């Protein structure tokens, strides 16, 4: 919900700036920027920047869009927020008494058990409250597992 709302707000602000520079209606600017940020091959509008200022703003908008897409990809792949969310939701459900802590696994149910040196399956689960970190993101640092 946060990422699409952020992109919608970004498209609205940058589209209004571009529309002002090109003397377009604001909706045309927003649709142009939305098409640009989403990388659509068939744009949502027929307008394109003709003035030098509009072309410069278009380059800046494209750079911003590429940067935010890279940030989003970094967040999803490097920080793995889904395991953190699962861990927190499990804790809240246990605190509310909805889920029994002894009968639910801490780790993801599809997690493969590790094989020890003697060929045995290691079914150890992580202790409650322990936090491991994944690789560090250049932008926001490490994220708890």
Mean pLDDT calculated for residue range 54-61:
92
Residue 5, sorted as left (phi over 0), alpha (psi -120 to 50) or beta, turns out to be alpha
pLDDT confidence of residue 85: 79
Yes or no: say if 143 and 137 are a contact pair by the CB < 8 Å rule: yes
Q: What are phi and psi of 43, to 5 degrees?
A: -60, 160
pTM of the model: 0.54
Work out the burial of residue 107: count CB atoms within 10 Å of its CB; fewer than 13 is exposed, 13-18 middle, 19 or more buried: middle
Residue 9 scores a pLDDT above 60: yes
First-to-last CA distance in the chain? 21
- Among residues 130, 114, 31, 107, the alpha carbon closest in space to that of 14 is found at 31
User: What's the whole-number average pLDDT of the chain?
Assistant: 75
pLDDT in tens, 86-128: 778 888 888 888 877 776 666 555 554 554 555 554 444 444 4
pLDDT in tens, 18-32: 999 999 999 999 999
Element (H, E) at 121: strand 121-122
């Amino acid at each position: 919900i946060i990422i699409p709302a952020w992109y919608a707000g970004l498209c609205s602000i940058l589209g209004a700036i571009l529309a002002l520079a090109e003397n377009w209606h604001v909706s045309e600017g927003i649709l142009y920027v939305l098409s640009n940020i989403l990388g659509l091959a068939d744009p949502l509008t027929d307008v394109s920047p003709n003035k030098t200022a509009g072309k410069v703003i278009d380059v800046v908008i494209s750079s911003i869009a590429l940067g935010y897409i890279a940030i989003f990809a970094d967040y999803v792949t490097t920080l793995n927020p889904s395991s953190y969310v699962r861990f927190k939701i499990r804790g809240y459900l246990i605190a509310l008494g909805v889920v029994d802590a002894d009968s639910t696994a801490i780790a993801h149910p599809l997690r493969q058990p590790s094989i020890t040196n003697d060929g045995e399956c290691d079914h150890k689960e992580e202790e409650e409250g322990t936090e491991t970190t994944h690789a560090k993101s250049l932008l926001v640092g490490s994220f708890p597992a």
